[in-house]
Amino acid sequence: MKKDVRVAPSILASDFSRLGEEVQAVSKAGADFIHIDVMDGHFVPNITVGPSVIKAIRSHSDLPFDVHLMISPVDPYVEAFAEAGSDMLTAHPEAGPHLHRTIQLIKKHESRAGVSLNPSTPAEAIGPVLGDVDLILVMSVNPGFGGQMFLHSSLAKIAAVRKMIDAGDRDIDLAVDGGITTETAPLVAEAGADMLVAGTAVFQGGPEKYQENIKALRESAR
């Protein structure tokens, strides 16, 4: 069942020199999750943060940390990311040969487990693990950078994933990540997404705008 739309600001678009304050500000401004993009310069053409940064910002928010792992391999780092304070760990099926094993490992470390689908990965890729995942994160840009254009081809995939989720009886969040604005949020919500990951659209204008930006996204998706 689709839930009310929740907003997960991606701190990739925040001011990294003041990361703790940014996480606090966006938490106070009405965010539902903190989305943290982990990139390794190998699985994606960019490098961001590791477990020590997650640990450092953990005390700055009570919100769940939704950690998006764009790294390959994933398995050797699951424990460190879980122990740093992640509540949800999301991996890409292309990042390793054994997606099911990765999901089991994430759960063993008491984190919720997510799977993310690249724009070129079909919805069907999650079929075999639907009974195990807590979150499906549909990428609406190619992962690696914030501020990219929304890919409209993701809409059909969101609708297909929504059908798969609703055909079962498990509580699975359906998130969309990349190019989410007040123009694209209604489209993804209509297609069946119930969680919006947004970097640029939340952090634009600085801290005094966060509350307004989050509210605008939430309302546009209603």
Active site residues: 37, 177
Nearer to ligand DX5, 22 or 37 (CB): 37
134 sits near ligand DX5 (criterion: CB under 6 A): no
Interacting residue with ligand DX5 among 51, 85, 114, 143 (CB under 6 A):
143
- With contacts defined by CB under 5 A, name the span among 45-53, 61-69, 71-79, 154-162 that binds Zn ion: 61-69
Report the chain's terminal Cα–Cα distance, integer Å.
Answer: 16
Choose the one of Zn ion, ligand DX5, none that binds residue 51, judging by a C-beta under 5 to 8 angstroms depending on kind. Answer: none
Of ligand DX5, Zn ion, none, which one does residue 67 interact with (CB within 5 to 8 Å by kind)?
none
Distance CA 176, CA 8 (A): 10
Count of positions on this chain that bind Zn ion (CB under 5 A): 3
DSSP element (H, E) containing 218: helix 210-220
CA dihedral for 51, 57, 59, 61, sign (positive or negative): negative
DSSP assignment, residue 136?
E
The CA radius of gyration of the chain, in Å to the nearest whole number, is: 16
Least Å distance, CB 83 to ligand DX5, is 22
Closest approach of Zn ion to the CB of residue 29, in Å: 19
| Contacts with 221 (C-beta within 8 Å, 6 or more apart), sequence order | 5, 185, 186, 188, 189, 196
> What is d(CA 53, CA 84) in angstroms, rounded to the nearest whole number?
8
Q: Which two tokens stand for residue 118?
A: 């690249």
List the single partner that 180 binds among ligand DX5, Zn ion, none, CB under 5 to 8 Å by kind: ligand DX5
Per CB under 6 A, 71 contacts ligand DX5: no
Stretch that binds ligand DX5, among 20-28, 141-149, 184-192, 214-222 (CB under 6 A): 141-149
Yes or no: say if 10 and 202 are a contact pair by the CB < 8 Å rule: yes
Two structure tokens written together for 56: 């450092």
Tokens of 139: 């990428």
Q: By CB under 6 A, name the one of 7, 69, 180, 185 that touches ligand DX5.
A: 180
The reply on whether position 199 binds ligand DX5 by CB under 6 A is: yes
Q: Which residue's beta carbon is nearest to the bound ligand DX5?
A: 199
- Of residues 44, 59, 57, the one with CA closest to residue 16: 57
- Span interacting with ligand DX5, options 58-66, 100-108, 123-131, 197-205, rule CB under 6 A: 197-205
Judged by the rule CB under 6 A, the positions of this chain that interact with ligand DX5 are 10, 12-13, 35, 37, 68, 141, 143-144, 146-148, 177-180, 197-201
